């Protein structure tokens, strides 16, 4: 069993902190600016913000575990298991802008679906790999991308 950590790039850290601070500022300014509806609006906006942040944090990739019979994508909450028999192809990807149809676009990583219906769990766009299975495609990132490729191809 090989374990590969998925670490956030500097861009992802900056975007996450910046977005959290900006949304907190907007929520607090609603309370200060509008005394009549500011508290209700701030509470509703705060609930939406917290829900979105929890969702993206929960789906953020923590580590990739390559076992003898498959690959486990361990998220902060939950995991995805890809059996060895389902893996069709594994490719190293170059730096990409990751055009997303929906997802976080930098908050806790690039988490969501891309334009070509690939599930993205990328935290560093400089070190990406795509796993193509019989039913889905996954893009993920790890600091030791070459070792990850060798481990998955050696299954």
pTM here is: 0.83
- Which class for 74: exposed (0-12), middle (13-18), buried (19 or more C-beta within 10 A)? middle
- Adjacency order of strands within the sheet including 2-5: 2-5, 61-67, 70-75, 79-83
Give CA–CA dist 56/30, Å, rounded: 24
Name the residue ranges covered by the structural domains of the chain.
1-155
- Per-residue pLDDT tens digits of the chain, which is 155 residues long: 899 999 999 999 999 999 889 888 877 777 777 666 667 777 787 788 889 889 999 999 999 999 999 999 999 999 999 999 999 999 998 887 777 788 888 889 999 998 888 999 999 999 999 999 999 999 999 989 999 998 998 87
Give CA–CA dist 59/38, Å, rounded: 31
Whether domain 1-155 has CATH 3.50.50.60: the reply is no
- According to DSSP, the residues that pair with 80 across neighbouring strands are 73
């Amino acid at each position: 069993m090989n374990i590969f950590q998925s670490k956030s790039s500097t861009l992802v850290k900056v975007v996450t902190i910046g977005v959290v601070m900006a949304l907190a500022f907007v929520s607090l300014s609603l309370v200060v600016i509008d005394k009549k509806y500011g508290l209700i609006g701030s509470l509703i906006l705060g609930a939406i913000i917290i829900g979105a942040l929890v969702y993206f944090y929960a789906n953020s990739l923590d580590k990739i575990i390559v076992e003898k019979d498959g690959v486990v994508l361990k998220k902060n909450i939950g995991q995805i298991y890809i059996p060895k028999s389902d893996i069709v192809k594994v490719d190293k990807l170059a730096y990409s802008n990751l055009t997303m149809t929906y997802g976080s676009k930098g908050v806790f990583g690039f988490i969501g679906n891309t334009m070509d219906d690939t599930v993205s769990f990328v935290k560093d766009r400089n070190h990406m790999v795509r796993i193509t299975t019989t039913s889905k495609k996954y893009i993920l990132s790890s600091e030791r991308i070459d070792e990850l490729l060798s481990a998955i191809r050696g299954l």
